[in-house]
Amino acid sequence: MSNSRILTTSIHEADIPRTSAWKDFLALIKIGIVNSNLITTFTGLWLALYFSGAHFLESLDIMFFTLIGSSLIVAGSCSINNYYDRDIDHLMERTKSRPTVTGKVSTAKVLALGFGFIIVGSILLFMTTLMAGIIGLIGVFSYVVLYTMWTKRQYVSNTIVGSVSGAVPPLIGWAAVDPNLSVTAWVLFLIMFIWQPPHFYAIAMRRCEEYRKANIPMLPVVKGFAVTKRHIIAWVIALLPLPFFLMELGITFVVLTTLLNVGWLAISLAGYKMNDDIKWAKINFIYSLNYLTIVFVSMVIVTVI
């Protein structure tokens, strides 16, 4: 009997939420991750167009191939992640209703969807530039193999390894226009790379017992909340100098991002005074989401006004 069959039969039908095929599809591809990566990909693409002097309307084909292609490889990678983690997802509250756990989508279809999206998405990226396609494949490999299949269940550094794949979208966007990645492109990569550990550590603190039950060695599970707080502070501090490498975007952007960094650091330091660690982790998590959106959207706005 297959693992998926065992998992399906172990879940009482009454416990399976009623969802539409569309909602199951969105859960399978992790639409939240797809959307957030779409924002950073667009920003990288937009800034490359801006600094290279290319005209927006004359680059619509590149924009289409890049945004659709990057979204497909992210969606495909997330589908394979769901397939691989179906034996542990039923142990966690936030993942127990995924269609790969409930059996509402067969494993064969999940794999077909995952690899199909990755193949089509990669083709679209290679239709822009060779570099964009290569970076896209690096992102897929780092997420599916290095993170999902290797480090996630074995090493406490899994979050850092997983941050590589989450940081490549702006590079993909930039490379689709200009394969010669500039310092600005790599700063976008660093912002995304450094942003992810404190963001996901906050999630891990909130879901600590679930990760423990699933035997996933997240930092709060292995090292405790005190160590996790120190790591969050260290990563946020690492963000502080990055805006000053983006002076080309103007003083307004640099000041805004610096204020956001200082605000995040203040919230992180407040974790030592708050008695409720879970409440603090939730505040940190919400701030990190708003931080990412504001920083990357403001990069586009300051080049328009």
Which pLDDT tens digit goes with each residue over 197-242?
A: 999 999 999 999 999 999 999 999 999 999 999 999 999 999 999 9
Residues 186 and 302 reside in one and the same domain: yes
167 and 211 part of one domain: no
Q: Does residue 13 register a pLDDT over 80?
A: no
Model confidence at 90, in pLDDT bands (50, 70, 90)? confident
Looking at the fold, whether 192 and 265 belong to one and the same domain comes out as: yes
| Structural domain includes residue 97 | yes
pLDDT of amino acid 3:
46
CATH of the domain at 97: 1.10.357.140
Domain that holds residue 139: 19-181
Residue 9 domain-assigned? no
- Domain of 188, CATH number, reads 1.20.120
| 186 and 171 fall within a common domain | no
The pLDDT tens digits for 50-79 are 999 888 888 899 999 999 999 999 999 999
Q: What percent of the chain has pLDDT over 90?
A: 81
pLDDT of residue 15: 55
In this structure, the answer to whether residues 237 and 267 fall within a common structural domain is: yes
Q: Is 206 in the same domain as 298?
A: yes
What pLDDT sits at residue 8?
42
Residue 279 lies in a domain: yes
Residue 59 counted as domain residue: yes
Same domain, 194 and 168: no
Q: In this predicted model, what pLDDT tens digit does every residue of 139-170 receive, in sequence order?
A: 999 999 999 999 999 999 999 999 999 999 99
Answer yes or no: do 177 and 200 share one domain: no
Q: Do 277 and 246 share a structural domain?
A: yes
Number of domains in the chain: 2
Does some domain include residue 298? yes
Q: What pLDDT does residue 16 have?
A: 56
CA dist., res. 105 & res. 291, Å (int): 35
Q: Is residue 11 part of a domain?
A: no
Last residue of a domain, one of 121, 155, 181: 181
Domain end position, chosen among 118, 150, 181:
181
pTM (two decimals): 0.91
Whether 93 has a pLDDT exceeding 90, the answer reads: no
Looking at the fold, whether 203 and 168 belong to one and the same domain comes out as no
Same domain, 170 and 54: yes
Instruction: Let me know whether 300 and 226 are in one domain.
Output: yes
Residue 5 is assigned to a structural domain of this protein: no
Query: In this structure, is residue 48 part of a structural domain?
Result: yes
Instruction: Select from 136, 152, 181 the last residue of a domain.
Output: 181
Three-state secondary structure string covering the chain: CCHHHHHHHHCCHHHCCCCCHHHHHHHHCCHHHHHHHHHHHHHHHHHHHHHHCCCCHHHHHHHHHHHHHHHHHHHHHHHHHHHHCCCCHHHCCCCCCCHHHHCCCCHHHHHHHHHHHHHHHHHHHHCCCHHHHHHHHHHHHHHHHHHHHHHCCCCCCHHHHHHHHHHCHHHHHHHHHCCCCCHHHHHHHHHHHHHHHHHHHHHHHHCHHHHHHCCCCCHHHHHCHHHHHHHHHHHHHHHCCHHHHCHHHCHHHHHHHHHHHHHHHHHHHHCCCCCCHHHHHHHHHHHHHHHHHHHHHHHHHHCCC
